[in-house]
Structure formats: C-alpha cells, structure tokens
Structure 1
Amino acid sequence: MVETTAEIVLFDGFDELDAIGPYEVLENGARAGASVEARLVTLEETALVTASHDLRVEPDGTVGEPDLLLVPGGGWTTANEGVRAAVEDGVLPDAVAERAADGATVASVCTGAMVLAEAGLLEGRPATSHQVAVDDLEDYVETVVDARVVDDDDVLTAGGVTAGIDLALWLLEREFGAEIASAVETEMEHERRGDVAR
C-alpha cells in the first residue's frame, strides 16, 4: 500500500493547537492502521519555530511534495505576526499554490484559510475559518459556510482552533475509513461537532 504523506507547514506565530491537534490525530491514525505519515515542516531549513503561545517546535524538515498539505492559522488579527505576516510576505501562499498545482490536497485550520485565499485556491469555492477572519474571507470565496469543516474535494477548510481535530478525523474517515477515524476519536476522547459541509 502506498503511504500518504501529510505535511503540516509551520511558521513563526502559528497557533499550536491548529497544527499539533491534526498532527496527533494523523499519528494516531497511523497507529490505528491508516497508511499515513505526518510531518511538521517549514519552508526553509530551521532548527526551531516559535508558535503563538511561545511553544518551540523542532520541525522534521522542509516542505516536500506531500499528498496533503495542511496550513494552520494564528496571528491574523495582529500586525506583522503569524498568518498576517505570512500572507503579506507572499512566500507561503506561493508555496501552497505550487503544491496544489502539483496535485496535493490542501487544507487549512482556523485563519490558515487566509493563506489559501491569498494562494488563489478559494476562488469560487465554499470555505470556513475562525470567526475573526470571516469578514476578510468573504472577499475571496463564493460562500463562507458556518461549519466546523468544509470539504470541497481537493481543498478543505476548518473553523477555529479545535476544529482542526475534526478536520483531521474527517480526513482519516474520508481516506482510510470510518473504523479508523472512530478508533482515533475514541482514543483521544473527542466528539466531533456538526456535519462536514460538502
């Protein structure tokens, strides 16, 4: 069986739970039998990345050619930090657009949707984000959906922070079956909220 590579791209100021929640879900999915490898990556080689609540993370390497690329949020409402800085810099949105053009499924958690928007991936699509970014997101999408997770085939978005756990559980279910997703949900003592909007 071919292993699915899932990369979560980190940047200074990312929200910890946006990235680590999905990472743990995917890692638990692998232990439950899903053929998936989750990696925490950055655009450029670096020893540590500092998240929004000062957690310091040692990445596994740099972004490669993943089957799934997940972009966390964090820092949209603060100038020169997190997602806001990444969008204004333009390098991360360009890298995300490039991976999407190469066939990767792209997902975002929370305000990471603004990176996908800047990358041009949300035009004409339904999407969701954290409530603090909804007004800005409306300028980029067909419809802002009030949902924890929006699945538009090769582009998925999730609402704020803990919705990333629901997103990753949905990805396990979609790609590897309800049994594996249910096993992970039970192990993590997490109850998904609401239906996935498709």
Structure 2
Amino acid sequence: MVEISAEIVLFEGFDELDAIGPYEVLENGAQAGASIETDLVTLEKSDLVTASHDLRVEPDGTLDDPDLLIVPGGGWTTANEGVRAAVDAGALPDAVDECFTAGATVASVCTGAMILSEAGLLEGRPATTHHVAVDDLAATDATVVDERVVDDGDVLTAGGVTSGIDLALWLLEREFGEDVAEDVAREMAHERRGEIFG
C-alpha cells in the first residue's frame, strides 16, 4: 500500500483542536496499520506557532508536497487574527491552491473553509464550515451544506472544531478501510457523528 504523506498547516491563531484532533486521529491510524505519515507544518520556517488559546506548538517543518493537506480554522470573527489574517495576507490561500494544483487532496476544518474558498477550491462545490462563518461561505461560490463532514473527492470540508476528528476518521476509512477507522475511534473513545455528505 502506498504511503500517504499528510501535512496539517499551522498559522498564528489557528484553533488548537482543529489541528491537533486530526493529527492524533491520523497518528493513531498509523499505529493501527494505516500507511500514513502526518506532520505539522508552517509556510515559513518557524520554531513555535501560537494557537488561538495560547498553546505553543513546535512544527515539524515547512509545507512541502503532501498527498493530503489539512487546513484548520480559528479566528475568523476577529480582525487581524487567525484565518481572517491568513485570508487577508494571501500567502496561505495561494499555497493551498499550489498544493491542490500539484495533486494534493485538500481538507479544511471549521473556518479553514474560508481559506479554501479564498484559494478558489470551493467554487461550485458543496462545503461546510463553523456556524459563525456559514453566511460568509454562502456569499461565495460554494454551495453550503448543513453537514458535519462533506467529501467532494479531492476537496473535503468539516464543520466546527470537533468535526475535524470525524473528518480524519473518515479519511482513514476512505483510504485504508473501515476497520482501521473503527479501531482508532474505539482507541480514542470517540463516538462518530453524522453521515458523510458526498
């Protein structure tokens, strides 16, 4: 089985659980037999990234050429912070678009969908996000769907915060089979929620 390289891109003000939830799921998936390697990365070399609740994270390296890129949310409703600042700056949406164009599957958690939208990846696609950004996402070319996880093939989106765990479990199931995903869910004492749209 071909190993999947997964990268979760961090930025100042990202929501902790949006990134760390999927990271733990995918790492547990590797321990359960999935051929996947997951790294926490940034656009530019950085020793520490500070998340929205002041957790400081040491990234593994910089964004490379992943098979799977996960974009967390956080900070959409606050000017000059988190996702809002990343969208305004433009570098992260551009990098997400480059990864997608190079063949990566791209997924977002929570308001990370607004970064995917800015990158042009949600045009004409079904998508979801955290409830605080639903109206903003609906004002774009995306088709907002009221679901926990939306799978549109090479682009996936998940709703608010904890839905990132269900997104990552679905990715494990989709790529490596239901048994791996169920083993991880049981190990994490997580009851999977919601049907997958797509």
Aligned match of 1:190: 190
Aligned match of 1:146: 146
Letter in 1 for 2:59: P
Superposed counterparts of 1:58-77, under 5 Å: 58-77=58-77
RMSD: 0.6
Aligned match of 1:8: 8
Aligned 8 A contact 1:127 1:141 in 2: no
CA separation of 1:142/1:46 partners in 2, compared to 1, >3 Å: closer, same or farther? closer
Question: What is the Cα deviation at residue 140 of structure 1?
Answer: 2.0
**Distance in 1, Cα, partners of 2:73 & 2:192:** 20
Aligned match of 1:118: 118
Cα deviation, 1:140-169, whole Å, max 9, x if unaligned, reads 234211110000000000000000000000
Superposed counterparts of 1:173-184, under 5 Å: 173-184=173-184
Aligned 8 A contact 2:150 2:197 in 1: yes
Aligned match of 2:88: 88
Aligned match of 1:57: 57
**Distance in 2, Cα, partners of 1:91 & 1:63:** 12
**Distance in 1, Cα, partners of 2:141 & 2:24:** 29
Aligned match of 1:158: 158
**Distance in 2, Cα, partners of 1:142 & 1:175:** 25
TM-score (norm: length of structure 2):
0.99
Percent of aligned pairs with the same amino acid = 77
Question: What is the Cα deviation at residue 85 of structure 1?
Answer: 0.1
CA separation of 1:64/1:17 partners in 2, compared to 1, >3 Å: closer, same or farther? same
Aligned match of 2:45: 45
**Distance in 2, Cα, partners of 1:115 & 1:142:** 12
Cα deviation, 1:128-150, whole Å, max 9, x if unaligned, reads 00000000001223421111000
- Please state whether the residue corresponding to 2:173 is helix, strand or coil: helix
Gaps of 5+ in 1: none
Aligned 8 A contact 1:121 1:155 in 2: yes
Question: What is the Cα deviation at residue 2 of structure 1?
Answer: 2.2
1:27 paired with 2:27, answer yes
Aligned residues: 198
Cα deviation, 1:83-142, whole Å, max 9, x if unaligned, reads 000000000000000000000000000000000000000000000000000000012234
**Distance in 2, Cα, partners of 1:34 & 1:22:** 14
TM-score (norm: length of structure 1):
0.99
